[in-house]
Amino acid sequence: MTDADLDQSYSAVCEALAHVGEAGAPMFLSMLCLSLMSRFDRADEVLPLIANALAQSDAGPA
């Protein structure tokens, strides 16, 4: 995927999140993640992506 493709895709996600609003964001993101995960053949391809996203978003104990 090119940088332009990434930008276009990210922008589409941002626009969709704005459309569904804060209340609908968790459901939208869950459905999007499930849809994207289903494109992989095995869990061992997805699990490192989940771990990486968690590590990047983990700000430590609240």
What's the CA gap between 12 and 16, in Å, rounded? 6
Domain-embedded: residue 62: no
Domain that holds residue 25: 3-57
Write the pLDDT tens digit of every residue in 27-60.
Answer: 999 999 999 999 999 999 999 999 999 999 986 5
Domain-embedded: residue 24: yes
Domain-embedded: residue 15: yes
- Rounded to 5 degrees, φ, ψ at 2 are -80, 165
Cα Rg for the chain, rounded, in angstroms? 14
Residue predicted with more confidence, 62 or 5: 5
Domain-embedded: residue 32: yes
Write the pLDDT tens digit of every residue in 3-20.
Answer: 999 999 999 999 999 999
Predicted confidence at residue 58, as pLDDT, reads 81
pTM: 0.82
CB 47 within 8 A of CB 55: no
Domain-embedded: residue 18: yes
CA distances (Å), origin 15, targets 18, 30, 31, 60:
5, 16, 16, 29
Predicted confidence at residue 9, as pLDDT, reads 98
Number of domains into which the chain is organized: 1
